[in-house]
Copies of this chain bind each other. A is one copy, B any other.
């Protein structure tokens, strides 16, 4: 085992061998295998945003198998998808790449100010489909926080008992936050902390902006001169906020944008100690060849 992988796994000593095996596999799959960095392809946009909005830019993506194939060809670390997609692709791909079953979802017909996820898969589903991990979205800042935290906590324990790894997408949103506050650096750091405390092994957050949302936090950031000037600074602070770097925190790419912009962002994430990226729309919405080339460039950044 590479030293960096040994080090990372040493933070998860309270987990049983089944979970360690699945974390090991995610960390050792694909071109970044053994580096301690990871890039994951998540595709739940069909559920979250609707099929045409997600797949019309590159129609082969209507087929769930396309994404698993793309993740394998691009030599990524893992692929995440909701239940129905997983039922299609798992029989062929469960042995080829670690699969993360996205176990809750929210569709964009609901426009309530305080979002809540619906449980759409279970640990039993993850086991029968040969997945390595189970994944959840939580919305800290929503008035529905109690229900979501508890659903995650309960299923996370069940997953750990069954030897699965647990991935949490922590996306602050709700009536107690401003729209810009959702990516404010204090809020993103807080979101990483909450996911870590709920027992997540891998945490996904959005790249933090320079804004500070909560009054009580502002005083502290000023008083202690916490560096948040560059994205690299802010990534470093978020990583620190997740147990001083002892939890795997990766960053999303957000809506499709210029390649250069994405690569620059990833470069800063890497420099700040980020463990990697979740690249969804920025890959699967491009034609396959283009996507593969672009993912190669992203892996190049993390391989430096």
B-binding residues in A (CB < 8 A): 11-15, 46-47, 49-53, 56-57, 59-60, 62-64, 66, 82-88, 90-92, 105, 107-112, 116-122, 124-125, 128-129, 140-141, 143, 145-146, 149-150, 153-154, 157, 161, 172, 174, 176-177, 186-187, 189-190, 192-194, 196-200, 214, 216-217, 220-221, 223-224, 226, 237, 240-241, 243-244, 246-247
- Which residue from B109, B145, B146 sits with its C-beta under 8 Å from A177? B109
Decide: B47 and A150 in contact? CB cutoff 8 A. Answer: no
Decide: A246 and B88 in contact? CB cutoff 8 A. Answer: yes
The 7 closest A-B pairs by CB, nearest first: A63-B244, A51-B241, A84-B197, A62-B244, A13-B91, A118-B149, A56-B224
Decide: A83 and B216 in contact? CB cutoff 8 A. Answer: no
Minimum CB–CB distance for A9 against chain B, Å: 12
Residues of B within 8 A of A216 (CB): 49-50, 53, 108
C-alpha gap A63/B193 in the complex (Å): 11
7 more contacts with CB within 8 A, not counting A52-B226, A64-B243, are A13-B92, A51-B192, A56-B226, A83-B198, A110-B141, A111-B176, A118-B153
Complex: chain B residue closest to A122, CB-CB: B157
Decide: B189 and A108 in contact? CB cutoff 8 A. Answer: no
Minimum CB–CB distance for A96 against chain B, Å: 15
Residues of B within 8 A of A240 (CB): 51, 59, 62
If A53-B220, A199-B84, A220-B52 touch, whether A118 touches B91 (CB-CB below 8 Å) is no
Decide: B190 and A51 in contact? CB cutoff 8 A. Answer: yes
Residues of B within 8 A of A190 (CB): 50-51, 107, 109
C-alpha gap A87/B166 in the complex (Å): 13
Minimum CB–CB distance for A95 against chain B, Å: 13
Residues of B within 8 A of A108 (CB): 214, 216
Decide: B176 and A88 in contact? CB cutoff 8 A. Answer: no
If A56-B224, A91-B13 touch, whether A189 touches B84 (CB-CB below 8 Å) is no
Residues of B within 8 A of A172 (CB): 109
Candidate in A57, A196, A223 with the most chain B CB atoms within 10 angstroms: A196
C-alpha gap A193/B119 in the complex (Å): 16
C-alpha gap A149/B116 in the complex (Å): 12
- Which residue from B62, B224, B237, B246 sits with its C-beta under 8 Å from A243? B62
Residues of B within 8 A of A112 (CB): 143
C-alpha gap A197/B49 in the complex (Å): 13
Q: Can you list 27 pairs linking A and B with CB atoms under 8 Å apart?
A: A11-B88, A14-B91, A15-B87, A50-B186, A52-B186, A52-B217, A52-B237, A53-B216, A53-B220, A62-B241, A84-B196, A85-B197, A88-B243, A105-B197, A107-B140, A107-B145, A108-B216, A109-B140, A109-B174, A109-B176, A109-B214, A110-B176, A117-B146, A118-B153, A119-B149, A120-B149, A122-B153
Complex: chain B residue closest to A109, CB-CB: B141
